[in-house]
Structure 1
Amino acid sequence: MFQQKSFSQLRPVAILCKVIATLACLVILLLVDIHHDVPSALYLWVILAGLCCWAATKVRSVGTLFILSTTVLAISAGCLAQVALIIGHPDYWLLPIGLMLSLPSAAIHIRPLHYLLSGALIWATDFYVIQPQFERPLDALLTLLAVGGALLTGVAVCSAYRHIRRTVFELQQQLHALAYQDTLTGLPNRRAFMEEVEGTGGRGFFLMIDIDDFKQINDRLGHAAGDQVLVEVGKILRATSPRHPIARLGGEEFAVAASVPDLAGAQLLAQAIVDAVHALQTHGLPLSVSIGVAERRLGEAAASWMHRADGALYAAKMAGKNRFVAVD
């Protein structure tokens, strides 16, 4: 999930950077062409880079985006190196071209290895086209040290940004859990449940579930035992309603939005929950739940649907608890 999130965040920036690089190459070629003869093949390479930028808007995988992005950078390095040969003194342009293309791209690569491969290809293209002639061994050594330092710096930057993205992603996940998940049972909370139910808008059956005499459990056995009961009831709901939205609404109240074809199916589900909870023993005490079942009317708001299920729950309590009551 983190990789996909990083991909969705970085792809627009990566595409924009590649478009800028392609346009920059085109502008430089046009300017140089005014005073020097620029081979037509260089324009074809720029067109190919533009096609790669367009293709990058369609991809859905990290690997394909990396290949297209690296291709654009390599083409840009090759074109700029050819321009350096045309205007003369190409050795002076070796480091500026490599640094200009390799270092800024460190922040937009998803993985450090991707950056290292891309940066190495940029420098390799730069060296291959220009083929610098070093008058002194020291010049060659210093140039290689500069290239190695640039690559290591880029890897460090890419790793740092990846760490920051992962930290932010984990914080977002934690905030989402706090906002949409019940911390005790791990079930969705009221907010998450209501958003999901409102989003569907279809027909179904609302099961409003309340643990009978829960206050007595807390008073007699303590809140730790009460928390254990809530957790166990949550497990039962997961087991009996694996395909339906479920939630802890708060306190001892739970809910299921059952997507079953008819009332008979909803009644079977409600009875299965009642039986499963009643079979549960905690600290020697039998447990039970009361359930109100209401079918959603066409176009009915979730709040109204819940209110009718709550009325059916009250009727189940009045009828003796440990049962369900369904209303039209």
Structure 2
Amino acid sequence: MKYLYAGDADFQHQSFLELRPIAVWTQLLGELSWLASLLLSHPHQQVDAANTVLVCLIMLAGTVLSLNASHRHTLLLGMLLNLCGLALGFRLNMLFVSNTSLWSTSIAVCITLTMAPVFHSSYCFMLASGCVWAILLQGTLDDRRLWQQDTLIALLTLVTLASGLMLNILFRRLRLRGYHLRRDLEALAFQDALTGIDNRRSLLEKLQAWYPAQHGHFLMVDIDDFKSVNDDFGHEAGDQVLQQVAQQLSGHPDVALCGRLGGEEFGLFTRLLDSQRVSELAGQLIHRVNTCSVEQRRLSISIGIVLMDGRIGLTAALRQADAALYQAKHRGKNGFVLALPCGHPVPQQTLVQAS
């Protein structure tokens, strides 16, 4: 049953967006083919105007519905409507040709194989195929030349449906593979591979999208004495430190955005506007990191904080946060500095003192 799996909701939505234009163009191709057959099958015959107009309306309604579909279920309805109209149209044309049964089976085979890649669901494809075959083979039960070879007709029908089902499954699995590949590439492009949080590009893009409509404080965090950890215990220990710190920073409920800016430096955004509450947040983050250790060495961080209330740009805010971080490092580390809006950082006492 895994081959009939239609994928998760996000994949189904992506498939809908990809298949909608293909479905519309396929329907238009079928309608043009029907118009050509209409001209060729009625060179000296009187066209049944009423039924011809009705068939045209059914096909066009399906195409318009598919073109304006906003959901995959609407697209499916449009495709079914168009296919039924198309099958009825071809069946109407074949009333004026000899060897009707031969043309019915041939056209049913062509429609089944052509529409197979366009359906997202195998079950829906089988339903549509059944409707097409039922319409086109209607009225052929009294054709002895056809049904004297009923075994061959049954075999042709089964082989066509099986081939169409295989095509449907194959194209869906190819789309699913491409979907997973794109998702993996997006994760590599926007997620830090080591810590699992946003990378610099993702964090800055989200900040640009939020700011200045979204106000709050930006916290620039740097792990204290990180180089000595790498020098004393190796890069594997350094990776563990980065993972532990990222987990502690991103896990705080007041942190709305958390990303790794590079190396041992992180960026956080909180919607808190009150300086006292932000100071408490910084102290809590320091305490969280202080509970972590590597090779019995306790970890600590320094934080530079800047208010982002729309009066300064994003670049200026990052620059002020970096300057405040430098002040926190200069004043003994394991602490934070809150920069004033004018850009002159003033020190705030850490809520958790290093012991």
* Normalised TM-score (structure 1): 0.91
Of 241-250 and 271-280, the range deviating more from structure 2: 241-250
Q: CA deviation at 1:312?
A: 0.7
Q: Which residue identity is paired with 1:221?
A: F
Q: Deviations over 1:171-203 (max 9, x none)?
A: 111211111111111011001111111122323
Q: CA deviation at 1:42?
A: 3.4
Q: Which residue of 2 aligns with 1:18?
A: 27
3-state SS of 1:128 partner: coil
Runs of 4+ in 1 over 4 A off after TM superposition: 26-34, 129-132
Of 274-283 and 4-13, the range deviating more from structure 2: 274-283
> Which residue of 115, 137, 149 maps to 1:139?
149
- The 5 A counterparts of 1:74-223 are 74-131=84-141, 133-135=143-145, 139-202=149-212, 203-223=215-235
Distance, in Å, in 1 between the alignment partners of 2:206 and 2:247 is: 20
Of 198-207 and 126-135, the range deviating more from structure 2: 126-135
RMSD: 2.3
3-state SS of 2:149 partner: helix
Higher helix share: 1
> Which residue of 266, 291, 304 maps to 1:254?
266
Q: CA deviation at 1:136?
A: 6.3
- Go from structure 1 to structure 2 and tell me whether the alpha carbon gap of 1:132 and 1:70 turns closer, same or farther (over 3 Å shift): farther
Q: CA deviation at 1:81?
A: 0.7
Distance, in Å, in 2 between the alignment partners of 1:137 and 1:129 is: 12
Q: CA deviation at 1:117?
A: 2.1
Q: Deviations over 1:280-320 (max 9, x none)?
A: 23332211110111123537443332121111100111111
Residue 323 of structure 1 pairs with residue 332 of structure 2 = no
Distance, in Å, in 2 between the alignment partners of 1:96 and 1:242 is: 66
> Which residue of 273, 278, 286 maps to 1:266?
278
Distance, in Å, in 1 between the alignment partners of 2:248 and 2:117 is: 47
Gaps of at least 5 residues in structure 2 are 1-9, 342-355
Q: Which residue of 2 aligns with 1:293?
A: 305
Of 122-131 and 308-317, the range deviating more from structure 2: 122-131
Distance, in Å, in 1 between the alignment partners of 2:142 and 2:163 is: 23
- Go from structure 1 to structure 2 and tell me whether the alpha carbon gap of 1:241 and 1:247 turns closer, same or farther (over 3 Å shift): farther
- In 2, are the aligned partners of 1:290 and 1:313 still within 8 Å (CA)? yes
Distance, in Å, in 2 between the alignment partners of 1:293 and 1:44 is: 70
Distance, in Å, in 2 between the alignment partners of 1:134 and 1:192 is: 69
Aligned length: 328
3-state SS of 1:182 partner: coil
Gaps of at least 5 residues in structure 1 are none
Distance, in Å, in 2 between the alignment partners of 1:258 and 1:59 is: 39
- In 1, are the aligned partners of 2:147 and 2:153 still within 8 Å (CA)? no
- Go from structure 1 to structure 2 and tell me whether the alpha carbon gap of 1:76 and 1:136 turns closer, same or farther (over 3 Å shift): closer
Instruction: Among all aligned residue pairs of Structure 1 and Structure 2, give the percentage whose two residues are the same amino acid.
Output: 29
Distance, in Å, in 2 between the alignment partners of 1:260 and 1:24 is: 64
